Amino acid sequence: MIATVTLNPSLDLTVSVDKLVVDDVIRMKGMRKDPGGKGINVSRVVNTLGGATIAYGFIGGHEGGALSVLLAEEGILTSFIAIEGDTRINVIISELETGTQTRINADGPRVKVEDLDRLRTRLWKMGGLYCAAQFMVFAGSIPPGLTRTVYRDLIEEARDRGIRPVLDTDGEALKHGVKAGPYMIKPNTYELERLVGRELRNAGDEEIIKAAREVVDMGVEVVAVTRGKKNAVLVAGGKVYLGIPPEVKTVSAVGAGDSFLAAFLLALLQGKGFEEAFRWGLAAGSATAMTPGTELLRADDFQRLLAEAVVKEV
């Protein structure tokens, strides 16, 4: 099983318009609601690809209830902690004429220390499904009320219980989390440059590999760097791999990195090696990029793109 922990989930509202015009009335061409949050996206993709998953996190209010219902409709097992505030709503405005998106993300509700304690009890003391988790993914932003070190503490607790912790976040939360030695991180270029402290957005493959190796030296076993349409990089098991994503028309990049991570871990869980897991991740990320708004991959697209993902050891 792959467990996910999303401290700041969201209800994602995607609105499609022909063109975004300021100070004018615009008619919607379409609207959809999706469960949101990086960890929840991982659980959704694992479920779509036939894997077992359980999603932990905090929910509150009507929006939290709607989030739970949407996940239940997808057949995803959840174990949420109810809090006083309302689960945040993120709005994505998709312009059909330009193919661009405007994202408006909320901070999220305040989470109390006692809420976090209740989550810890749910994770570690129930003696339940978490015991079956080989991987536990800690992902996304940290909500108001919790410290920037919360992921570091949870990673240490997971590792002490024999679970391989995976971290996918940004900024100070990532810097602190890496100090706990997670099994894996999956930054994009911008997240990696903030972690190593230098600009990488125009860097070539060699510079990205060098930065990824620096993170391995910090105590992380597996570092996968996704770079959109550019070559991805994987440093794992003492080897370095370059991944060439399948060529697809990008409709929306939202959730592509989460999809990569979900498929990569599911492949490892099924006994695949790092090279094949990398191919799974590349195919999953590209399949999600083909879908609109916050919609994630379709299983048939993933299967088709697997044959087009290229991985080379360097």
Please give the positions annotated as active site. Answer: 258
In the chain, the amino acid numbered 284 is: A
- Token readout for 130 is 């978490």
Question: What is the Cα Rg of the chain in Å?
Answer: 19
- Hey, which bits of 109-265 come out as E strands? 135-139, 164-168, 184-185, 222-225, 232-236, 239-244
Rounded to whole angstroms, how far apart are CA atoms 10 and 34? 9
**Residue 278 to residues 47, 170, 222, 264: CA-CA distances in angstroms?**
19, 22, 11, 6
SS3 197: coil
Rounded to whole angstroms, how far apart are CA atoms 310 and 48? 23
User: Is the distance from CB of 243 to CB of 231 less than 8 angstroms?
Assistant: yes
**Residue 4 to residues 47, 56, 129, 158, 314: CA-CA distances in angstroms?**
12, 6, 12, 12, 32
Strands 135-139 and 2-6, sheet pairing: parallel
Rounded to whole angstroms, how far apart are CA atoms 46 and 1? 9
